[in-house]
Amino acid sequence: MQTGQILLNGRVWVACATRAVTLPGRMCGLLGRRSLPNGQGLLIERCGSIHTIGMRFAIDVVFLDSAWRVCRVARNVRPGRLCVWGGWKAVRALEVAAGWLDMNRAEPGAIMEWNPHAG
CA distance 82 to 105: 27
Q: Where exactly are the structural domains of the chain?
A: 2-116
Task: Place domain 2-116 in its CATH homologous superfamily.
Answer: Protein of unknown function DUF192 (2.60.120.1140)
The answer to whether 48 and 85 are in contact (CB under 8 A) is yes
Note down pLDDT in tens along the chain; length 119 residues.
Answer: 789 999 998 999 999 999 988 766 666 666 666 778 888 999 999 999 999 988 899 999 999 999 999 999 999 999 999 899 999 999 999 999 999 998 888 999 999 999 998 54
Nearest to 42 by CA among 21, 73, 65: 21
